[in-house]
């Protein structure tokens, strides 16, 4: 791979688990989703897929999404989805369907840098 970014679609780097089933197979495999965009994903796991395989991926808060394996490298692979999804839904916590209060998402500030200090509070050395 080169250092030049050639993709036109923004991707989210994340870590979540998904279930994937290769078409014509009954076995379901648990894989790690490393990157996710509205049009596809990069997965990692110990399953034998080849470029061109049809798959069904069960994504959290989205459901089953059909797609085609676009590339394979070692234990990582790319899937191009048949239809675009709202990839931001997969980042949200699992929601109880009957609880309307669960639909309210509070922003997390746990992983953000602290605010810079006020200039009036700085000392000159």
User: Could you say which residues of the chain have pLDDT below 70?
Assistant: 1-14, 94-112
Structure tokens at 79: 């899937």
pLDDT in the model for residue 82: 95
Distance CA 31, CA 84 (A): 20
pLDDT in the model for residue 101: 53
**Which residue, among 58, 59, 61, has the nearest Cα to 96 in the 3D structure?**
61
Sequence ranges of the domains in the chain: 13-29+55-92
Cβ of 95: how many Cβ atoms within 10 Å?
Answer: 14
pLDDT in the model for residue 1: 47
Distance CA 55, CA 52 (A): 9
Q: What is the pLDDT of residues 61-96, one digit of tens each?
A: 999 999 999 999 999 999 999 999 998 888 887 655
């Amino acid at each position: 791979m080169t250092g030049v970014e050639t993709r036109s679609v923004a991707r989210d780097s994340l870590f979540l688990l998904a279930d994937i089933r290769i078409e014509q197979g009954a076995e379901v495999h648990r894989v790690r989703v490393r990157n996710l965009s509205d049009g596809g994903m990069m997965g990692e796991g110990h399953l034998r897929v080849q470029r061109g395989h049809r798959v069904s991926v069960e994504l959290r808060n989205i459901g089953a999404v059909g797609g085609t394996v676009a590339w394979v490298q070692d234990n990582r692979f790319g899937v191009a989805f048949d239809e675009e999804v709202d990839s931001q839904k997969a980042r949200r916590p699992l929601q109880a369907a009957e609880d309307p209060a669960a639909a309210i998402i509070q922003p997390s500030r746990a992983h953000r840098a602290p605010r810079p200090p006020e200039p009036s509070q700085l000392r000159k050395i």
